[in-house]
């Protein structure tokens, strides 16, 4: 089944403790992206990647890191999480030739 | 800065009625996409309309695009309780890249 898989689905962590949210897609998509969703603010793009080793900042990149060493994986790294990074995070991927994202199921992160 | 902004923010209708949601965007686009999100779940791609198209249909969905007004509308005909969800428009920046901005969404509630 074609899908984007994010892990974990839920995560509660403490301020300052580094964490990684994994994202993997099995559709050979070139484009991958991370979004955060907060009430009243919709989805805001954190980082996106157009292909292996090609990444760029979205609208809200501060406090986040990404890497794209393999085409299928696009992990999101929070080096020192803070409470304002408490949010619902989505990974998404898309083919270069066929626009339209496939989204993962989301990761609900709480930083205390 | 939001590339896509939906209107209204919330809409409540009776089953069988039509629901219309509007989206405005700011810069030139190659295409505009509409997505549905059931509470807290990942977004699902519904329909894409390209900048050289004025109208597109898919089942009970009808999308229009007016590039001169930088606006789009999504019409759901003969709505069902299962259509209850949030609906988002998304507009990729017309840079050949993949920076895609979503609006805050329209929350649709269809009463049975």
CB contact under 8 A, A56 and B100: no
Choose the mutation target among B25, B30, B43 for the interface with A, i.e. most A CBs under 10 Å.
Answer: B43
Confidence tier at B5 by pLDDT (50, 70, 90): confident
CA of B45, closest CA in chain A: separation in Å? 6
Contact A48 B102 (CB under 8 A): no
Contacts of A78 (CB under 8 A, 6+ apart): A18, A19, A20, A21, A63, A64, A65, A85
CA distance B5 to chain A (A): 9
Instruction: Return d(Cα B11, Cα B110) in angstroms, integer.
Output: 8
Q: Look at chain A and count its residues.
A: 112
Question: Does residue B69 have a pLDDT over 60?
Answer: yes
Q: How far is A32 from chain B (nearest CA, A)?
A: 9
Q: Which residues of chain A have pLDDT under 50?
A: none
Rounded distance, CA A87 to CA A35, Å?
10
Is residue B1 predicted with pLDDT exceeding 60? no
- Counts for chain B of helices (H) and strands (E), in that order: 0, 11
Show residues of chain B in contact with A50, CB under 8 Å. Answer: 97-98
Q: What is the DSSP string of A59-92?
A: S--TT-EE--SSSSB--EEESS--GGG-EEEEEE
Counting Cα atoms < 13 Å in the Cβ hemisphere of B97 gives 14
| Cβ(B98)–Cβ(A55) below 8 Å | no
Say yes or no to pLDDT of B103 above 60.
Answer: yes
**pLDDT value at position B96?**
53
Tens-place pLDDT, residues B59-68? 999 999 999 9
Indicate if the pLDDT at residue B94 is higher than 80.
no
Give the number of other Cβ atoms within 10 Å of residue B31's Cβ. 17
Using an 8 Å CB-CB cutoff, list chain A residues near B101: 45, 59
Contacts of A108 in chain B (CB under 8 A): 40
Q: Which residues on chain A are in Cβ contact (under 8 Å) with B1?
A: 59
| pLDDT at residue B40 is higher than 90 | no
Interface residue ranges in chain B relative to chain A, Cβ cutoff 8 Å? 1-2, 30-31, 33, 35, 40-45, 48, 88, 90, 92, 97-105
């Amino acid at each position: 089944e074609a899908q984007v898989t994010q892990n974990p689905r839920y995560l509660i962590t403490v301020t300052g403790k580094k964490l990684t949210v994994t994202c993997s897609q099995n559709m050979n998509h070139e484009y991958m992206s991370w979004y955060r969703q907060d009430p009243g603010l919709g989805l805001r793009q954190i980082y996106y990647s157009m292909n292996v080793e090609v990444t760029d900042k979205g609208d809200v990149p501060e406090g986040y890191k990404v890497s794209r060493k393999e085409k299928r994986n696009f992990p999101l790294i929070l080096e020192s999480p803070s409470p304002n990074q408490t949010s619902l995070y989505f990974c998404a991927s898309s083919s270069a030739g066929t626009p339209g994202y496939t989204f993962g199921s989301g990761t609900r992160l709480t930083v205390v | 800065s939001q590339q896509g902004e939906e209107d209204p923010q919330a809409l409540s209708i009776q089953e069988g009625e039509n629901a219309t949601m509007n989206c405005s965007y700011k810069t030139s686009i190659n295409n505009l996409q509409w997505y549905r999100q059931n509470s807290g779940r990942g977004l699902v791609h519904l329909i894409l309309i390209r900048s050289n198209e004025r109208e597109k249909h898919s089942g009970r969905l009808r999308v229009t695009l007016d590039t001169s007004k930088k606006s789009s509308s999504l019409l759901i005909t003969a709505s069902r309780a299962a259509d209850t969800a949030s609906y988002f428009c998304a507009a990729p920046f017309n840079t050949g890249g993949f920076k895609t901005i979503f609006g805050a969404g329209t929350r649709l509630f269809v009463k049975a």
